[in-house]
Amino acid sequence: MPYLLHIDSSATPGNGSVSRRIAHSFRDAFTGPVVHRDLGLAPVPHLTAEGITARSTERAEHTPGQATAQAVQDELIEEFLGASAYLFTVPLYNLTMPSVFKAWLDQVMVFGRTLDAGASPPSAGRPATVITARGGGYGPGSPNHGLDHLVPSLQDILANPRMLGLDLRVIVPELTHAPVVPAMAELVPLHEAAMADAHRQAVQQGELLAKRLAA
């Protein structure tokens, strides 16, 4: 049965995380089955030498460390490839992605399994949505313009046909610090508008995905 794989990577639990709240709107609108992996609560291991060498070593010759690392990769890759669509909750931390999400990517991006040099990857064309909240504004004209190293990286990794090749949508609620940082108080209306628009987009994408997978 087709399922949505939801990867959370916010370190903040529950409604304290804006990215998680927007993801709830998506999930509420999506009516199909979901597999949820919360990297904030249960991080996957960072890639190690054993994990790298296990990929090019016959399984019968694996050391105990390689076998353990291979088992982690197998679980994550099978979960990724088994999904028909993806929801990634990836807030902006220090201008880039949370380390737990990078660790997950490093585990699942393997040539010959999820990557295929010179050919389309097995996940090519599958729908995916990224929800990425950030405390400030990073658009044109803002002081932080050009410092968002998360969305461009995710577009290159997730959507590039030479990488995972997903059909990617990105939802960006900005200015999340405005309600709590006095110096940003005048930006609260812009933050509220950004939040309302992000929830609207999340509901829309959740509904569209449900219809797409049911067709």
Q: What is the pLDDT of residues 108-150, one digit of tens each?
A: 999 999 998 778 899 999 999 999 999 999 988 888 999 999 9
pLDDT of residue 22: 98
CA 197, 199, 205 angle in degrees (round to 5)?
A: 100
Res 116: pLDDT = 87
pTM: 0.95
- Between CA 187 and CA 136 the distance in angstroms is 10
Domain ranges of the chain: 4-214
So what's the pLDDT on residue 139? Answer: 87
In this prediction, residue 198 carries a pLDDT of: 98
CATH number listed for the domain at residues 4-214: 3.40.50.360
Calpha distance 36→87 (Å, rounded): 9
- In which residue ranges of the chain is pLDDT below 50? none
